[in-house]
Every structure is written in C-alpha cells, then in structure tokens.
Structure 1
Amino acid sequence: MKFEHVLLGLLARRPYSGYDLHKWLESDGQFVWAKAHHSQIYRKLAQMETEGWVTHEVDSREGRPDAKVYRLTPAGRDVLLAWVRSPYEPSSRPHETDFTARLSVAAPLDKDVAIALLRTEIAHRRAQIAKNRGRDRSLHYEDPLPGLDQDIDRQIHESLHVLGAGAMDHWVAWLEEVLGRLTRGTDRND
C-alpha cells in the first residue's frame, strides 16, 4: 500500500485541505496509517495533482492564509478502486496498515471486495493459529550466557505467547464481527 491510497481514500469521503488531512491522520488516522509529516502530505498532493488524480480550489480565509482544498477526480477514483480491488496478501502479523487502510476504503466503496478481504484475512489468521497454537514452545539451552536466568526466561517466553495468542483471538473475533455486519442479510451461507 502506498500513502497516496490513504489520501485518495480520505478524499473519496470529502474534500480536504492538506492541513485537514494532517489533522485527521494525527487523530482518527493513527489506526489507518503511521504518522505523516505535513510536508510529506503536501508533496504527495502535488504529485497526485500532476498525475490528474486530484484537483484543488483555493479557499480564501480572512485573517488566515488561503487553503488549497483538494478533491478526487474521476482518474483518482479509478486509481483508488484499482488498489481496493487488487489482490490482497496477508502479512505475517495482524493489524498491518495495508489491511486496515484497505478495509476502511473498500467497505463503503465495494462491499463485496471488503467481504472477500475479511474472509482472506480470517482464513490466514485461522491457519496461523492452527499451525502455531499447539506447537512445542520449550526453550532449550546449550551453553547459555552466564547469568541468564532460565526460569525467568521461560516465564517471560510463556507470558509473551499468552499475550500474542490472546491478541490473535481478539483480532479474529473482531474480523468475524465486522464480516457478520457486512454480510447480514446479504449472504445466506454465513
């Protein structure tokens, strides 16, 4: 996923100034994309305008600098939909930005794509759980570093496994809940 996809997804909802995009990314957007510096946003908007994906109008503001307010063009919509509908390959870790950003854009634009995305993510995570949940997690020591406390090492190792397993279970439950909301009344097989 590229940063322009996030910006195009936001502009699909409404026109934004660069400043407003930055504010959104710093607050609500923290769960969709890593922090972005305002200069990165303005550079990407200029590039996207050169590509014909966005256009801007100047919003005159009394007592403050004028603002460029950006709007998605039909070409930008096509680029956004092409990304939303492109193949999705789950990462090894849950909660990755490619998934969350893609889901946040896909669901309102193409519900069927969002449903397929969720099913792919759920299947991948269930396979990870099946492969890893019951595996032997014993730690084996051979000439350990002097001072290494093996009991503490085992305790921490097991605690981290419990934390990770709980987080994965929570993630899968959330995915299934969202899938249920999107398919309720639309898919007789669920």
Structure 2
Amino acid sequence: MIKFEHILLGLFAQRPWSGYDLKKWLSDGGKFFRSNADQSQIYRLLGRMEDSGWITHTVDAREKRPDAKVYTMTDEGRAELLAWARSPYRPPARLQDPDFLARFYFGGIVDPVGLRSLICTELAARQDQVARYRGRDRAARFLSPVPEVDIPRARLLEELTHIRGMAEIDSWIAWLKEMLVVLDAAGVTTPPAPS
C-alpha cells in the first residue's frame, strides 16, 4: 500500500519542491495519486519527513512575498524511496489502485526487469479476477428487502454496474498489455527470452 510520503519522495527524486508547489501539483496532475490533500496536511507531512531525515529544506527569500521553504531529498530519503519502489508489488483487490499507478509513474527509478515485473504482476492479477468473477452467478437475491427497494430496478442497476465494471477491467487489461508492447519496443523493458 502506498504512503503519501512515497509519492512526495518520488517527486523529490525529480527536483526540489516547496509546500505550495506540491499542493498545486497534487491539485492538478497528482490528484490521481492522492485526493483532498490540504496545505496544512502537506506541511505536517513535510515536517515529519524532515524529522525522519528524508528531506531537508532551505529558505528561499522572496521579495514582496513570504519566504518559501524549498525541500530536497536526502540520501536517507533516496534509500526509503528506492526500498519502496523496488519492494514486491502485491496487487490489491481494487482495480486501478494508486499504489500501482504511483509505482508505474515513478518507474524510472526501477530497473527494466523490475518495471516489467510490476506490469506483469498487475496484468496477471486482473486477468485472474476476470477468470474468477466474470461468469459468476449475479442473480441478485433479495430476502426481506426494505419496502423502498424496487426489485426490478435494483436488478437492472446491478447488471448495468456489472457491465460498466467489465468495461473498466477490460480497458485496464488492454492498457497494461499495450504498455508492455510500448516499453519493450522502446527498450525500456525487455521481454523474456522465448523458451
């Protein structure tokens, strides 16, 4: 499971950041990794990360604006980031979990074999879900429902939700397969040798 600290360490691996810039990034492109992170939460976390020795800051004096703390990663932070990024990935039950997306996004710090293994592990887990659950009995069982439940409508909504779920997982599997082709073709990962 991904921790917010690992997302921030992944960002610090790319460049120094101020708390304000982190909040701005998380509100825009980073909202898929972590939603609803307010400024005070970010600053508290930055303080804990600095106390842990993972980051350090300098003060950037600004004219006509408040000074800004600009944070950079330390060697201890780098070690923590690499330990997380290179740790075994265990796919959760939830499709498109932020842990996979963060590991994929920050996959530039993982060796080609590890990156390919990450994608293959996620792909195998989702294909297994399809194999196990696609054909399951979905007949809704309504035993003593509350009077407000409209059973035909509830059954239809359940079926439509299932159809949407199938489309999402099928699309996710197709994307994972495409990523293997794209990354192998680009030489970023290496396909296994034919047996």
TM-score surpassing 0.5? yes
2:172 is the alignment partner of 1:168: no
Alpha-carbon shift at residue 188 of structure 1 (Å): 5.1
Alpha-carbon shift at residue 160 of structure 1 (Å): 0.7
Change (3 A) 1:60 1:152: same
Change (3 A) 1:40 1:144: closer
Alpha-carbon shift at residue 144 of structure 1 (Å): 4.1
2:132 and 2:140 mapped to 1: Cα distance? Answer: 18
Alpha-carbon shift at residue 79 of structure 1 (Å): 0.5
Contact 1:33 1:101 in 2 (8 A): no
The two structures have a TM-score, normalised by structure 1, of 0.92
State how 1:1-190 maps to structure 2 within 5 Å. Answer: 1-105=2-106, 107-110=107-110, 111-146=112-147, 148-184=149-185, 185=187, 186-187=190-191, 189=193
Question: Which contiguous aligned blocks of 4+ residues in structure 1 show a shift greater than 4 angstroms?
Answer: none
Change (3 A) 1:144 1:73: closer
2:145 and 2:44 mapped to 1: Cα distance? Answer: 51
1:175 and 1:37 mapped to 2: Cα distance? Answer: 32
Number of residue pairs matched by the alignment: 189
Unaligned runs of 5+ in 2: none
1:181 and 1:124 mapped to 2: Cα distance? Answer: 20
1:12 and 1:3 mapped to 2: Cα distance? Answer: 14
> 1:57-99: per-residue Cα shift (whole Å, max 9, x none)?
1111111011111111121111000001112111111111111
Q: Which residue type is aligned with residue 167 of structure 1?
A: E
> 1:12-58: per-residue Cα shift (whole Å, max 9, x none)?
11110010001000110001222211111111112212222111111
Q: Secondary structure at the match of 2:13?
A: helix
Alpha-carbon shift at residue 109 of structure 1 (Å): 0.8
Instruction: State the Cα RMSD in Å.
Output: 1.7
Unaligned runs of 5+ in 1: none
Q: Which residue type is aligned with residue 36 of structure 1?
A: A
2:116 and 2:88 mapped to 1: Cα distance? Answer: 13
Change (3 A) 1:139 1:68: same
